Structure 1
Amino acid sequence: VWDKSENGDWHCTASWKTHSGSVWRVTWAHPEFGQVLASCSFDRTAAVWEEIVGESNDKLRGQSHWVKRTTLVDSRTSVTDVKFAPKHMGLMLATCSADGVVRIYEAPDVMNLSQWSLQHEISCKLSCSCISWNPSSSRAHSPMIAVGSDDNSPNILAKVQIYEYNENTRKYAKAEALMTVTDPVHDIAFAPNLGRSFHILAVATKDVRIFTLKPLRKELTSSGGLTKFEIHIVAQFDNHNSQVWRVSWNITGTVLASSGDDGCVRLWKANYMDNWKCTGILKGNGSPVNGSSQQGIFNASLGSANTSLQNSLNGSSASR
């Protein structure tokens, strides 16, 4: 875990060995729940961690350390992603695993992070690699979670599925599948929704893809109460010329950052015509790439781009 000092430098304030296999992901809970992290691993578990500031004696006073509050052991295969739900839903956590099951847990008492109850199990029928909650807090939108699969089987066409909570059945059910995404998916991210009537979803696969999901009118939706969507792909970029591993939005959902095997982070933004373009490229050390002449790429003033990148990546890495 890294803290940023007032002069802009990053310092490692905590590191610890945990899990008995590779740690695939870490994610922050919303700060209103305290300093809380979740991790997931090849060892088939997910764990919830809380930062404690030592007060017991003079030696520990003011020092912080991380305490494991719970271990979630329901999966029988590698847990490949873990994400906290939007804060308006309370303290909830979703995991997905290689056996194709998404599990949603809830902490009924936010003051006691050792107690988590399994609320939902969603069987996706294909190996899951990543999940993303729809962050919309509008009452018009039911809780929604997108699931990506890295299954290499050509028999399984849609590698992105979207599940919506049904108030009638009190269960999650599949609302949509993105039939055009047939390559293995490494990451997926709903954009923050600031008053939009539709949703934006970014997908990291062999390239970067951005979709819009516009809810159809109620009379056009399915009889089961699930929302149906008009789905369009609004951008597709292969500028990384390699596998894309992560996609992450800034806090307003206007800039998308993507990282790939080319060792670069690329920033994408739409203009007023809703045409998406690359507005900046950063190397792994944060320095801009000069003289970029790829399609649609131009060097933006990277002052604002760096800020956007920092905002977009802070939410998905163990930094604060």
Structure 2
Amino acid sequence: LQVWDQDEHENWHLTANWKAHSGSVWKVTWAHPEFGQVLATCSFDRTAAVWEEIVGEGSGPGERGMRHWIRRTNLVDSRTSVTDIKFAPKSLGLLLATCSADGVVRIYEAPDVMNLSQWTLQHEVSCKLPSSCLSWNPSFSRLHHPMLAVGSDDPNTANGGKVFIYEFSENSRRWSKTETLVGVTEAVHDIAFAPNLGRSYHLLAIATSNVRIITLKPLQDSTLQSGLTRFDVQMVAQFEEHHSTVWRVCWNITGTILASSGDDGFVRLWKGK
């Protein structure tokens, strides 16, 4: 794992470089800076880890001292490769979600944000299929339940939809699957909810053999029927310009521009009209 810092002249410098896992590191993610300089990683070695930067005292007045990263905890609940890891929106507290090739999403909480060595496993959610990626819905609206999207890279198209939407119920204190996107049957490599700045619906980007953008519009309670979907799901865009596998999708901070990268060697930007 490597960390780079930008100086006042906009030059980037390698400030930390260490062996984080005994297998390939699949993903790395930052916690909100409100919680300090905190990273989380997940690996083929079946573990996830939380790292915190420690800054020593400088040799002179006002000087920044040497920095190094300390592993605060090692999360070892998975029996298979941990394929993705994401911190929750800060409004939910210091929560961390992982997904694994065994098809289980695990949600951990640090009850004391000043003690990052203590994490508790709060929830385990079985997705039935190998899980490759996940995304928290960053919506701040109190009208929206905490929400996770999970993607699967299972190659078997006979297994149907490869994207699942989970919501957390405050009443039952449980996560439950509220949607399977049946139109996505190819292996999913990345998934990302767009930041929600006042939209009444959710926007989800999916990386498969192409780029897809999905809207999920919550249905009014009066239109819901037992056992039926909670969302009106529409695919509003599909882009084939990569002509190859798409590996990553990422929104800008306002949720108006989507970046994607693929095996064609390009990063492409998409904007709604």
- TM-score (ref. length: structure 1): 0.82
Match of 1:165 in 2: 168
Note the C-alpha offset of 1:167: 1.9
CA–CA distance in structure 1, aligned partners of residues 196 and 28 of structure 2: 23
Match of 1:282 in 2: none
Match of 1:240 in 2: 242
Match of 1:12 in 2: 14
Q: Contact between 1:131 and 1:188, CA under 8 Å: does it hold in 2?
A: yes
CA–CA distance in structure 1, aligned partners of residues 251 and 64 of structure 2: 37
Q: CA RMSD in A?
A: 1.6
CA–CA distance in structure 2, aligned partners of residues 232 and 161 of structure 1: 15
- TM-score (ref. length: structure 2): 0.95
Match of 2:184 in 1: 181
Matches within 5 A, 1:79-98: 79-98=82-101
Task: Pick the aligned partner of 2:252 from 250, 275, 279.
Answer: 250
In the alignment, structure 1 segments of 5+ residues that lack a partner are 272-320
Answering whether residue 98 of structure 2 is matched by residue 100 of structure 1, we say no
The runs of at least 4 consecutive aligned structure 1 residues that moved more than 4 Å come to: 57-61
| Pair 1:232–1:42, CA change in 2 (3 A) | same
Q: Contact between 1:203 and 1:247, CA under 8 Å: does it hold in 2?
A: yes
Match of 2:195 in 1: 192
CA–CA distance in structure 2, aligned partners of residues 227 and 5 of structure 1: 50
In the alignment, structure 2 segments of 5+ residues that lack a partner are none
Match of 1:279 in 2: none
CA–CA distance in structure 2, aligned partners of residues 174 and 219 of structure 1: 20
Letter matched to residue 118 of structure 2: Q
Larger strand fraction of residues = 2
Letter matched to residue 30 of structure 2: W
CA–CA distance in structure 1, aligned partners of residues 271 and 130 of structure 2: 31
Partner of 1:219, secondary structure, is: helix
Q: Contact between 1:144 and 1:165, CA under 8 Å: does it hold in 2?
A: yes
| Cα shift readout 1:10-37 (whole Å, capped 9, x = no counterpart) | 1111110121100000000000000000
CA–CA distance in structure 1, aligned partners of residues 147 and 182 of structure 2: 18
Number of residue equivalences: 269
Matches within 5 A, 1:44-63: 44-55=46-57, 58=59, 62-63=65-66
| Pair 1:138–1:61, CA change in 2 (3 A) | closer
| Pair 1:58–1:125, CA change in 2 (3 A) | same
Decide which moves more: 1-10 or 199-208: 1-10
Letter matched to residue 40 of structure 2: A
| Cα shift readout 1:243-263 (whole Å, capped 9, x = no counterpart) | 000000000000000000011
